């Protein structure tokens, strides 16, 4: 869309010239979702909450679409400016403002990289658990907007569970706090939780007060091989039933491990006959406390069909195993064109989900690679294009995804556990949502953004 001179003049009147970009904008038209590209007309890098609110008010007045962007690592196209207009980058809103050790809280700007926060609070013996595998490049603002999870959500919960209060810039130019810096809150509608997971469609988060916990003193990893997929999935329920709460239970199919090892240029540290691995982390006060727990857990897993379990308590071995897990997404992308679906089902339904995925793949002759947060029933199903010609892939993929999600819904699950709906998943909302639910959500959107200018075209068809 063409931006008017008067709109640009009003922007340039208060934004420093190095915070305004009018050329070479292609990188801001992409995120990590497929090959989509929607180039914006302008990118702004506000340095304060007040400037952010002023920008939104101007967009509202001049009817300019505006899309907020954090690290651009989203997997559902949330940060794509699909209607053009302006991208508001949080790159310069990147300060950790206050680590409050007395109240176990931290106040941050939204552009802080997740891993940077984790490392900063670790210096005070504190822990911020939400850790998407993209934590080295994604931002807290993006995590809040997507209610991001990660491996440690199994024990500690997702981003949603660590938010106390948010400062939000609204489309009318106002700047509000949504709650209070307290851990209990029963004061009217919970606007803080409404903002979390709203995918940048209701307001722009300009500050966040997040909850911290004391850091665990020790952790160790169990690398647990299985010779069939169902046993690996069933073992997850068995761990729970035994009353053991690992800090992570990650599932990786053999193909995922192979691709990641190849991508990292390391030798596969697993026997060839393995079909899937569970990577299980235990944490607690000390290793002395964890070794007996690991032994009890190993006994349970062996009963469920596990092969030879390897215990990793040395930093370099743990690091290699986590790198293998965290790089799977990039490795799949390097292997082939693909489509990732963020399925989530009740934990006990995991074996049925895996059976369905494999049956679908046999039916359509398409390979899949599955991995993810098995402890939460959250499996990333990657369908691979590989040798298939474009017409076959383009025709078959939507059919496969629809069949997959119908089964996910039948199993009591839904179409996204942590990646959000954004641009790429909105056509599947109707499969899992009642029309009345969607109408209620559209009503909420209309209250915050009556003209539909903030991150337009996301979550549902306009």
Ligand X SMILES: Cc1cc2nc3c(=O)[nH]c(=O)nc-3n(C[C@H](O)[C@H](O)[C@H](O)COP(=O)(O)OP(=O)(O)OC[C@H]3O[C@@H](n4cnc5c(N)ncnc54)[C@H](O)[C@@H]3O)c2cc1C
Asked if 375 interacts with ligand X (CB under 6 A), we say: no
Question: Is 164 or 294 the residue whose CB approaches ligand X more closely?
Answer: 164
Asked if 199 interacts with ligand X (CB under 6 A), we say: yes
Asked if 141 interacts with ligand X (CB under 6 A), we say: yes
Strands 218-226 and 276-284: antiparallel
Token output for 439:
């109408």
Contacts to ligand X from residues 405-434, by CB under 6 A: 418-419, 422
Question: Is 339 or 388 the residue whose CB approaches ligand X more closely?
Answer: 339
CB of 424 to ligand X, least distance (A): 12
446 exposed, middle or buried (CB, 10 Å; 0-12, 13-18, 19+)?
Answer: exposed
Question: Is 44 or 360 the residue whose CB approaches ligand X more closely?
Answer: 44
Side-chain-side CA neighbours of residue 296 (13 Å): 15
Neighbouring CB atoms inside 10 A of 287's CB total 14
Distance from C-alpha of 251 to C-alpha of 248, rounded to nearest angstrom: 10
Stretch that binds ligand X, among 62-70, 209-217, 270-278, 314-322 (CB under 6 A): 62-70
Q: Which of 82, 126, 196, 205 binds ligand X (CB under 6 A)?
A: 205
Asked if 69 interacts with ligand X (CB under 6 A), we say: yes
Which positions from 310 to 349 touch ligand X by CB under 6 A, shown as an x/- string?
-------------------xx-------------------
Asked if 139 interacts with ligand X (CB under 6 A), we say: yes
Cβ atoms of 172 and 452 closer than 8 Å: no
Distance from C-alpha of 383 to C-alpha of 368, rounded to nearest angstrom: 5
Asked if 71 interacts with ligand X (CB under 6 A), we say: yes
Question: Is 84 or 307 the residue whose CB approaches ligand X more closely?
Answer: 84
Strands 367-373 and 248-253: antiparallel
Question: Is 40 or 110 the residue whose CB approaches ligand X more closely?
Answer: 110
Question: Is 91 or 313 the residue whose CB approaches ligand X more closely?
Answer: 91
Asked if 134 interacts with ligand X (CB under 6 A), we say: yes
Q: Which of 28, 45, 118, 146 binds ligand X (CB under 6 A)?
A: 146
Distance from C-alpha of 450 to C-alpha of 171, rounded to nearest angstrom: 9
Neighbouring CB atoms inside 10 A of 198's CB total 25
**Listed residue (372, 333, 367) closest to 252, CA to CA:** 372
**Listed residue (455, 415, 337) closest to 36, CA to CA:** 337
Query: What are the Cα distances from residue 288, in Å, to 75, 244, 291?
Result: 40, 16, 6
User: Sign (positive/negative) of CA torsion 36, 39, 43, 49?
Assistant: negative
Q: Which of 7, 11, 29, 31 binds ligand X (CB under 6 A)?
A: 31
Q: Which of 40, 46, 47, 72 binds ligand X (CB under 6 A)?
A: 72
Q: Which of 60, 67, 343, 368 binds ligand X (CB under 6 A)?
A: 67
Which positions from 87 to 126 touch ligand X by CB under 6 A, shown as an x/- string?
---x-------------------x----------------
Question: Is 74 or 129 the residue whose CB approaches ligand X more closely?
Answer: 74
Asked if 376 interacts with ligand X (CB under 6 A), we say: no
Question: Is 166 or 220 the residue whose CB approaches ligand X more closely?
Answer: 166
Stretch that binds ligand X, among 6-14, 198-206, 245-253, 363-371 (CB under 6 A): 198-206
Contacts to ligand X from residues 241-300, by CB under 6 A: none
Cβ atoms of 214 and 168 closer than 8 Å: no
**Listed residue (216, 218, 220, 219) closest to 309, CA to CA:** 220
Question: Is 40 or 71 the residue whose CB approaches ligand X more closely?
Answer: 71
Question: Is 360 or 370 the residue whose CB approaches ligand X more closely?
Answer: 370
**Listed residue (220, 236, 230, 243) closest to 296, CA to CA:** 243
Token output for 174:
């106002």
Asked if 78 interacts with ligand X (CB under 6 A), we say: yes
Token output for 356:
């369905």
What does the DSSP 8-state code read for residue 26?
Answer: G
Asked if 79 interacts with ligand X (CB under 6 A), we say: yes
Asked if 148 interacts with ligand X (CB under 6 A), we say: yes
Strands 163-169 and 175-177: antiparallel
Q: Is 399 left (phi over 0), alpha (psi -120 to 50) or beta?
A: alpha
Binding site for ligand X (CB under 6 A): 31-32, 67-75, 78-79, 90, 110, 132-134, 138-139, 141-143, 145-146, 148-150, 199-200, 204-205, 329-330, 418-419, 422, 455
């Amino acid at each position: 869309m063409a931006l008017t001179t008067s709109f640009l003049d009003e922007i340039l009147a208060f934004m420093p010239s190095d915070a305004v970009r009018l050329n070479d904008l292609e990188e801001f038209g992409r995120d990590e979702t497929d090959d989509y590209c929607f180039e914006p007309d302008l990118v702004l890098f506000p340095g304060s909450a007040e400037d952010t609110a002023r920008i939104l008010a101007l967009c509202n007045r001049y009817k300019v679409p505006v899309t907020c962007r954090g690290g651009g690592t989203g997997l559902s196209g949330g940060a794509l400016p699909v209607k053009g207009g302006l991208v508001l980058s949080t790159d310069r809103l990147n300060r950790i403002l206050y680590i409050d050790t007395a109240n176990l809280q931290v106040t941050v700007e939204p552009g802080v990289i997740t891993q940077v926060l984790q490392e900063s609070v670790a210096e005070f013996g504190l822990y911020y658990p939400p850790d998407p595998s993209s934590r080295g490049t994604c931002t807290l603002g993006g995590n809040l907007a997507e209610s991001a999870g990660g491996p440690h959500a199994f024990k500690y919960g997702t981003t949603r569970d660590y938010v106390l209060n948010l400062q939000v810039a609204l489309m009318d130019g106002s700047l509000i706090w949504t709650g209070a810096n307290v851990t209990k809150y029963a004061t009217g509608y919970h606007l803080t939780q409404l903002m979390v997971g709203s995918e940048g469609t209701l307001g722009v988060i300009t500050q966040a007060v997040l909850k911290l916990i004391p850091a665990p003193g020790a952790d160790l990893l169990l690398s647990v091989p299985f010779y069939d997929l169902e046993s690996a999935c069933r073992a997850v329920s068995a761990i729970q039933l035994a009353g053991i709460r690992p800090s992570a239970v990650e599932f990786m199919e053999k193909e995922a491990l192979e691709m990641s090892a190849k991508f990292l240029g390391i030798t596969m540290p697993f026997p060839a006959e393995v079909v899937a691995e569970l990577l299980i982390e235990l944490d607690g006060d000390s290793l002395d406390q964890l070794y007996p727990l690991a032994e009890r857990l190993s006994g349970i897993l062996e009963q469920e069909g596990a092969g030879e379990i390897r215990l990793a308590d040395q930093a370099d071995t743990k690091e290699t195993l986590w790198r293998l897990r965290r790089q799977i997404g990039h490795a799949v992308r390097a292997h082939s064109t693909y489509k990732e679906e963020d399925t989530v089902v009740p934990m006990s339904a995991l074996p049925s989900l895996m059976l369905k995925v494999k049956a679908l793949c046999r039916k359509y002759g398409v390979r899949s690679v599955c991995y993810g947060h098995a402890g939460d029933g959250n499996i990333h199903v990657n369908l691979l294009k590989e040798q298939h010609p474009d017409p076959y892939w383009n025709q078959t993929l939507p059919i496969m995804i629809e069949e997959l999600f119908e089964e996910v819904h039948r199993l009591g699950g839904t179409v996204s556990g942590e990646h959000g709906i954004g641009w790429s998943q909105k056509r599947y909302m109707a499969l899992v949502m009642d029309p009345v639910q969607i109408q209620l959500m559209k009503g909420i959107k209309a209250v915050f953004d009556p003209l539909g200018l903030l991150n337009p075209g996301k979550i549902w068809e306009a």
